[in-house]
Structure 1
């Protein structure tokens, strides 16, 4: 199984409160099939992925792992009950043959250990997706189309077989309505008992009068959306998010919902193809909760705003007040640099009493590095203010560091360097990985927040675990095991905000809600001893550098961790 490199952000109501969650579906990775790599296995056994995984966007376990809302095989957690099988996904770029006569033994691998005595669990597809290839003519036609004689020869293809092809959600939407431009960021959600892919779709044109033409590919390309995956050379000067598309992950059903009821282009296409687009009032409340502001259109809008925000003719003519999207400082520099992507975050705008799920971005002046503008759009489709775009223009009198400057400042800060020294030196057993650099409005200013992960280098199959949080406000930097600890460093113990993180990680929030679940004493002790080992490595490095003060501080901290570990074992 595999997960995408870039995960998605969605919202679910958990314990009565809207909660941001990081989500992904578990898809098959045929490249990892090492044994039994036969036609039967590739086309009839490894047919589908399994399960939706969701984790809290603002919580972690003591060892740095996520706190899951839902996950595992079989799926457990607080997400609504749903069909877990993924026959249509972002990695399903190959066809499979499914279905069998009634009473036949199933052959599709469902879960690796879901059967009796943790044996393989097998399954037979029961959906209506795909094309019936039970008759000779249809089977022969597909054999010719795919250049695959095995469709004619294999005994796995029977009178009840169906072939599932064109299984990538964006591809299915594009083929259902080729007159739409599909967003580059599909995301999965659990809606009405099904896992579905939600895609924004646009009506576009390049002949709209008195409108600036832009290159669609260049406008939406950033550090998370590779240009080589996009439609090259498409020029547009008219864009409307007219359609919300939904693709069922089990049977591939494509439903196109009208979203912009006033778009004349959509109205025209709907007359040409009546019945293809479902009226907006047919969107269920459950689906509406998961719709969000379109990502690609927001990228185009921020590019246009960067040039057309000025109202002074002289300034416009001289092009002296252009805003630019800064490069993502974490992922490449120089020739490999690419624009920082927008981020979906729940933020409270200055002066507001309530936080809103938003899509956010920042600007710097052209050819400069300091921060000039913070911009956000209300991305919650259930809100009356959905689509409201707001801009926070920073003072020209005092420059505020931009993302690139802040990233460099964090990396060269002695306090941060001291905490990361065990992971950055040659031969270290684990390496440090910097996460997304986020910008948040706070207390009349802007706060930078960056997670730092560590990953074991000597073990195959290891994955990053959240280790530190770094924050910057003005010229102050803080680093801690939690966001609260980092904020308290910056604001001298008076952050004026409670992040909700637990000071004592013995009782983390469980993924299924309800009462806190005690962490196993041995696991707690193991975590503390690992932290002590890291502190001692830091102390040794400080001693080699001749910094006796730092050496003594780290040793004392390590001793405290060891004492705490021993106490945990005694109490356990």
Structure 2
């Protein structure tokens, strides 16, 4: 090529190709770079910059370590193979000269260990030539490619690798092999994955070297030569290591037996068949694998013993076939286990019960017998009612209350109440249960002509304030508010210094605040009140560089040119609290019900987070068959299959600033402790939990629902009782107009655990499986010092206690209630019956159901009209809970008085007569047949 032609090509590249490449590459690079920069800025704004770099560095470190390991594994083996092939290293220049010479010469020279030759190699010799040349000169590249391919699957599981490295001991051991539970949670799944990768690496290496050594052997055999002894030793070591990997995998299969599900639905885990048939077969397979490996290596090096290899392989195949042949366990189950199943499976059932209770935090459940009569004492006067207890009964239904909040307190179309939370506050010196909700911004509810770019970025930036009302209320009275309106006002001393809600449950748009246009805060007396964001937790957007980055990030050039941005302006992004937490800590499972807390300073969100695992040995998983069998008894609101759960983390998010703090609520959880070690500074100790929020910590509803779903079967701790499943429970179900609803645990404020104080409790009624009467009810406290203490009140097995569906039927059949409903219906009102709940009033099992009226057309604001109360199968409806309970007691008093009068006026018994007693009915009844009115005992009303 002449210098003139070379110059033209250089100019063509500089003037045409280079600008074109830059025009394509620079925008792509800028967009990728903008996204990465914004991500870093966002983590720094949360105070989690170090955590961001930790996660990023951890993933690359794991990938680099694994890639390096596999690289040296392949490279050193390739170099060792090249040494045994007796190839002399060539400099890169000589390699290039050799290829050029080959292109020019018809018969090139080949300086290989096969000997110099003036003829072009043909067939297998030619293939061998290229393989050997590639093995020597491309070993670096081949080893690197293979290392990256093998490390990629493990890179995707980098967090599991680090959990294994940071995991502490759990302090519990499995009942079969005696390993700490941490081994099963962290080590076993990772070891099996790595074992597969290592076995695959050995297989690839053995294939490459086997082909090369075999081709060399064939070439040398023609010349009467033999392959080097080192090559045989090399292959022997690789084969031996492959067999070692296989033996270790079979050892891990012993541990995997603890996850057997062949005995479900009776119990989960290994049983008699696995421990006495399958486990010996696994040991036999391991022994046969050792024999096969030794005989194969011996035969490879001595060219003898082929028959031993064949026999060993045959026995191994038979053993493995028996291990995986389903007919063997089935025959053992049919002919050995089932004829005496309880005796043979008893120790394994016991292990399953113990492990499941431990895995779901149910090992320390306290059981108390409930011996109080189902009806209150008739001599109790209405004024003797426990006023504090009645004041905390939630007669309002959350599903109905949300409509009241929306109609009466949203005030503007762009505000929205998403959900109602329940909590407890001290109001006027009284500890009582309340409902509350946050008034969040919903920009999409603005009129279409107001949904412009300026309003979206600068004007409508946040929600404002909260509302709070008591859980109890008299019927036909105006709604009582503890906190209402904008700005928030209260007649009970509640104040909020900073009521703005910039971070909430709504999918909020990213905004810029403060800004030169002013933010709409709330509607005032003389117009809209504007306010400015006063925190510094957003991402600063001042400066042309940051504007350019965000303009690229959002693909919005207006952000670069707008004049509404001030020097102190910040951009607030990712303002949906649950979504943000999932981005920051994807390894935590979040509760489905985040709740709001009102403090004198700010509004806060508290979110419960769980650590889950499906690797707890012998513990039965939940959600395992829910998809196949919707009525499966073990189900959880958490949409995953798992057999271990802990509420290990409490997350607090400031609704105004967006600051997030993670607190380690369960230091005994090995998974949470491993994350705390892995990310120092992320999980704070509960001693640092803010005092203003500590009183509002509550036991999560999803967790308790999961626990009671498990406990419904595993409260039967005696293997004989468990085997018979005579006392399995279920959550109550109520069917109304073809719609069946399951009553999950709900919050109440009662003094069930400690009689001297009221506590915020979760209460769960439980029915016998397939029946409608009540069998037990469970409570768990949300208040210290009883937080997390689960108590199950067991009802007498021989006593009928009406369940919720039965009480619901009694309400439907009550003539007075039906008459009142009919009367209301004639007036055009729509009748809504709220959720039927179980509570205890003065230790008496009581059922409460609110009744609401709302307009059939137009604006629908549910109004609490009546409260239905049932005790002992009797039903009363009144405007208030107190009046309904008093009516029940008055009715009971009247029935008792009637029974007493009948007893007093009954004729005295006749003296015994000496004449023979007649057996005719006339003789017994004084000439008349007995009827119901003459029977002894109280007459049913």
2:396 equivalent to 1:396 = no
Give 1:232-311 correspondences, 5 Å limit: 232=639, 234-311=640-717
Alignment correspondent of 1:72: 485
CA deviation map 1:1-60 (0-9, x unaligned): 455464111122222222211111111233431252222223322211111211111235
Alignment correspondent of 2:767: 364
CA deviation map 1:421-445 (0-9, x unaligned): 23434xx432111222110123554
Give the TM-score taking structure 1 as reference length: 0.76
CA deviation map 1:47-100 (0-9, x unaligned): 11111211111235x744431111111111122443111111111343222222
Match of 2:498 among 80, 83, 86: 83
Give 1:341-352 correspondences, 5 Å limit: 341-349=744-752, 352=755
CA offset at residue 374 of structure 1? 0.9
2:855 equivalent to 1:442 = no
2:452 and 2:788 mapped to 1: Cα distance? 50
Q: Is the 8 A contact 1:420 1:432 kept in 2?
A: yes
CA offset at residue 488 of structure 1? 1.6
1:29 and 1:409 mapped to 2: Cα distance? 43
SS in 2 for 1:235: coil
Structure with larger Rg: 2
Change in CA separation of 1:74 and 1:456 when aligned onto 2, cut-off 3 Å: same
1:338 and 1:420 mapped to 2: Cα distance? 22
Higher relative contact order (CA 8 A, sep 6+): 2
Q: Is the 8 A contact 1:172 1:254 kept in 2?
A: no
Alignment correspondent of 1:470: 868
Q: Is the 8 A contact 1:350 1:442 kept in 2?
A: no
Alignment correspondent of 1:485: 883
CA deviation map 1:289-312 (0-9, x unaligned): 111112221111111101100023
Alignment correspondent of 2:465: 51
Bigger strand share: 1
Match of 1:384 among 782, 785, 794: 785
Alignment correspondent of 2:451: 37
Change in CA separation of 1:341 and 1:21 when aligned onto 2, cut-off 3 Å: same
Alignment correspondent of 2:522: 111
1:218 and 1:347 mapped to 2: Cα distance? 34
SS in 2 for 1:440: strand
Q: Is the 8 A contact 2:458 2:517 kept in 1?
A: no
Alignment correspondent of 1:410: 811
Q: Is the 8 A contact 2:444 2:451 kept in 1?
A: no
CA offset at residue 209 of structure 1? 2.0
Q: Is the 8 A contact 1:70 1:76 kept in 2?
A: yes
Q: Is the 8 A contact 1:110 1:123 kept in 2?
A: yes
SS in 2 for 1:240: strand
SS in 1 for 2:441: coil
Q: Is the 8 A contact 2:833 2:850 kept in 1?
A: yes
2:832 equivalent to 1:429 = no
Query: Bigger shift: 164-173 or 310-319?
Result: 310-319
Change in CA separation of 1:137 and 1:333 when aligned onto 2, cut-off 3 Å: farther
Alignment correspondent of 1:170: 578
Change in CA separation of 1:217 and 1:312 when aligned onto 2, cut-off 3 Å: closer
Query: Bigger shift: 288-297 or 152-161?
Result: 152-161
CA deviation map 1:301-335 (0-9, x unaligned): 111101100023233223332211123557x855x
CA offset at residue 386 of structure 1? 1.6
Give 1:472-551 correspondences, 5 Å limit: 472-492=870-890
SS in 2 for 1:70: coil
Q: Is the 8 A contact 2:613 2:642 kept in 1?
A: yes
SS in 1 for 2:450: coil
Alignment correspondent of 2:425: 12
2:858 equivalent to 1:459 = yes
Q: Is the 8 A contact 1:87 1:167 kept in 2?
A: yes
Change in CA separation of 1:302 and 1:143 when aligned onto 2, cut-off 3 Å: farther
CA offset at residue 417 of structure 1? 1.4
Change in CA separation of 1:31 and 1:493 when aligned onto 2, cut-off 3 Å: farther
2:578 and 2:686 mapped to 1: Cα distance? 21
Alignment correspondent of 2:64: none
Alignment correspondent of 1:321: 727
Match of 1:27 among 416, 440, 444: 440
Query: Bigger shift: 292-301 or 30-39?
Result: 30-39
Q: Is the 8 A contact 1:350 1:444 kept in 2?
A: no
Alignment correspondent of 2:757: 354
Change in CA separation of 1:258 and 1:187 when aligned onto 2, cut-off 3 Å: same
CA offset at residue 494 of structure 1? 7.8
CA deviation map 1:372-420 (0-9, x unaligned): 111111111xx22221111112223232232222223223321111222
CA offset at residue 158 of structure 1? 5.0
SS in 2 for 1:478: strand
CA offset at residue 157 of structure 1? 4.4
SS in 2 for 1:67: coil
2:562 equivalent to 1:161 = no
Q: Is the 8 A contact 1:3 1:24 kept in 2?
A: no
Q: Is the 8 A contact 1:40 1:156 kept in 2?
A: no
Match of 1:128 among 526, 536, 545: 536
Change in CA separation of 1:158 and 1:353 when aligned onto 2, cut-off 3 Å: closer
Alignment correspondent of 1:530: none
Change in CA separation of 1:141 and 1:295 when aligned onto 2, cut-off 3 Å: farther
1:121 and 1:156 mapped to 2: Cα distance? 19
Alignment correspondent of 1:340: 743
Alignment correspondent of 1:515: none
Q: Is the 8 A contact 2:501 2:655 kept in 1?
A: yes
CA offset at residue 367 of structure 1? 2.0
Q: Is the 8 A contact 1:82 1:195 kept in 2?
A: no
User: Unpaired segments of 5 or more residues in structure 2?
Assistant: 1-409, 894-941
Bigger helix share: 2
Q: Is the 8 A contact 1:199 1:246 kept in 2?
A: yes
Query: Bigger shift: 344-353 or 269-278?
Result: 344-353
Alignment length, in residue pairs? Answer: 471
SS in 1 for 2:786: coil
> Aligned Cα RMSD in Å?
2.8
Give the TM-score taking structure 2 as reference length: 0.47
Match of 1:184 among 592, 603, 606: 592
SS in 2 for 1:196: strand
